[in-house]
Structure 1
Amino acid sequence: MEIVKTLNKALLHKKSDTGKVCLMEIEEFKNMAKTYTRTENSVAVLSDMQHDKSYIFSSKTALRLGLNLADHPAVIDSIWEEEILKKIHPDDRMKKYVHELRFFKFLQSIDPEKRPEYSVLSKIRMNNKNGIYQFVRHRMFYFFSPYNQKLRFALCLYDIDWDQSVVSSRFLIINTVKGEIAIEDKLDYNNILSPREMEVLKYVGEGFTSKEIAVLLSISINTVSRHRQNILEKLKVKNSVSAFNETFEKFI
């Protein structure tokens, strides 16, 4: 998936990147994640950008979402918690990736002393244990290293949203000190592309071929080709990958 490659390039780093080793104590952040699961029944994911590793702390919310995590924490060799991510509605998953990159770039652009004031707050759709999409509150916090100024940890929290009457997903960057919205989701291409064209463009961005997209959407390859051509004409780009990349860049 092109956007995941972009995120990996931005977020991941090795000890040798700056010549300075980050001495932040991971156990402190593990305890923080564990506390959220105990006090809020959240599913907490702590990702270590220096070692490309994640720790997933489960709760009763995990069971409601159909996540059967035997270990506490479950440890995976990636910053991407695939078992959780695959439960997110495909449209919301793409927006989540874009929003995370926007958040990272935003924090890079401000005074490092101000970074702890900001976090991500989103409403996303996730499949529960019964195979039904319901709204989940997603919060994300980034922790930069004072030793090498690199992003070291990301903490993601998932819990069932109390208001299931909302009609759409929402992605925000908030200032938790001031209680203000700093950036609201701008990912709305619907005034440019049709819903089907958006689906095709999303799968192009995830690296699927026209044949694979046809199977996923239960349409013919010719129809996929026609949609791809319409996308090129509407966005005035040379190819579908450029269409995805340029549309993606426009909103971060």
Structure 2
Amino acid sequence: MEIIEKLNKTLLSKSLKTCRLDIDTYKQAALMYSRIENAVAVLSDMQENRSYVYSSETAKELGLTFKNNPLEIPSIWEEEILKRIHPDDKLEKYIHELRFFEMVDSLKCEERSAYHVLSRIRMKDKDDQYRSVTHKMFYVYSPDNEKLRFTICLYTVSIDQTPVQGPEFLIVNAVKGKVIIEDQVNYKNILSARELEVLRYVGEGFTSKEIADTLSISINTVSRHRQNIIEKLNVKNSVQAFKDSLY
């Protein structure tokens, strides 16, 4: 999956200077989030490429079953959760997380903790029906090497179940109580039906040849659709990584 590979390259911490933050402190924080907010809490360790998933009653509501609590997985991607997210929302989630990382990474280390992501996405529930789910994501940077060390993601069933055309993504400055970036791009109003198909397959990890074979079109046509997507979505500067992932 091209965009996942790009996110791995961007997010996974590689530094000669090891981060000395105590992971047990953040495991306890994730556990408390799962209990107090009744959330599914995921703590991901960028230094070790490992995650810990803390379950709750919300997990059952979303049709998630984990054999252990916490469940330890050898990846920063919680696949059991991600596969229940609406395919369109999942791709936009990845794009937004790249935007968030690049914005926060450009700040001074002491300023970064003020920001987090607040999203509303569609996820399948225990009855395989899509429900609105609130997703929060927090970054923890190392004071030793100033690299991203931990992310904490929280998933809760949203109070607002009003049907929406797509996901809602916000970058919030919690210190000032302000929404810094509101990203509610409706791709259906920007891209053609065929371009949406191509974008969806890109997000699911298909190569250009696989997309061409699946849609019974030429690789050149796929390349042209990809170029149109780049131009129409104006993916440059802060989302240069996503632009790169389309090639």
Q: Residue 248 of structure 1: CA displacement?
A: 3.5
Residue matched to 1:240: none
Q: Residue 192 of structure 1: CA displacement?
A: 3.9
Q: Residue 2 of structure 1: CA displacement?
A: 1.0
Residue matched to 2:99: 102
Distance 2:188 2:49 in 1: 35
Residue matched to 2:83: 86
The structure-2 alpha-carbon separation of the partners of 1:214 and 1:151, relative to structure 1 and needing over 3 Å to count, comes to same
Asked if the contact 1:210/1:221 (under 8 Å) is kept, the reply is no
Q: Residue 183 of structure 1: CA displacement?
A: 1.1
Distance 1:209 1:175 in 2: 37
Q: Residue 113 of structure 1: CA displacement?
A: 1.3
Q: Residue 132 of structure 1: CA displacement?
A: 0.4
Residue matched to 2:222: 228
Ranges in structure 1 where 5+ consecutive residues have no aligned partner: 238-244
Q: Provide TM-score, normalisation by structure 2.
A: 0.86
Specify the SS of the correspondent of 1:208: coil
The structure-2 alpha-carbon separation of the partners of 1:236 and 1:197, relative to structure 1 and needing over 3 Å to count, comes to closer
Q: Look up the equivalent residue of 1:11 and give its one-letter code.
A: L
Q: Look up the equivalent residue of 2:172 and give its one-letter code.
A: I
Distance 2:180 2:203 in 1: 27
Asked if the contact 1:192/1:234 (under 8 Å) is kept, the reply is no
Asked if the contact 1:52/1:78 (under 8 Å) is kept, the reply is yes
Q: Residue 205 of structure 1: CA displacement?
A: 4.5
Distance 2:174 2:71 in 1: 29
The structure-2 alpha-carbon separation of the partners of 1:226 and 1:109, relative to structure 1 and needing over 3 Å to count, comes to closer
Q: Provide TM-score, normalisation by structure 1.
A: 0.84
Distance 1:66 1:94 in 2: 21
Q: Point out the more displaced range, 195-204 or 153-162.
A: 195-204
Residue matched to 1:31: 28
Residue matched to 2:142: 145
The structure-2 alpha-carbon separation of the partners of 1:102 and 1:229, relative to structure 1 and needing over 3 Å to count, comes to closer
Residue matched to 1:12: 12
Structure 1 position 182 matched with structure 2 position 180: yes
Q: Residue 124 of structure 1: CA displacement?
A: 0.3
Structure 1 position 65 matched with structure 2 position 62: yes
Q: Look up the equivalent residue of 1:10 and give its one-letter code.
A: T
Number of aligned pairs?
236
The structure-2 alpha-carbon separation of the partners of 1:201 and 1:3, relative to structure 1 and needing over 3 Å to count, comes to same
**Percent of paired sites with the same residue:** 52
Distance 1:247 1:98 in 2: 9
Asked if the contact 1:197/1:227 (under 8 Å) is kept, the reply is no
Asked if the contact 1:98/1:248 (under 8 Å) is kept, the reply is yes
The structure-2 alpha-carbon separation of the partners of 1:234 and 1:99, relative to structure 1 and needing over 3 Å to count, comes to closer
Residue matched to 2:235: none
- The structure 1 segments of at least 4 consecutive aligned residues displaced by more than 6 Å after TM superposition are 224-227
Ranges in structure 2 where 5+ consecutive residues have no aligned partner: 232-238
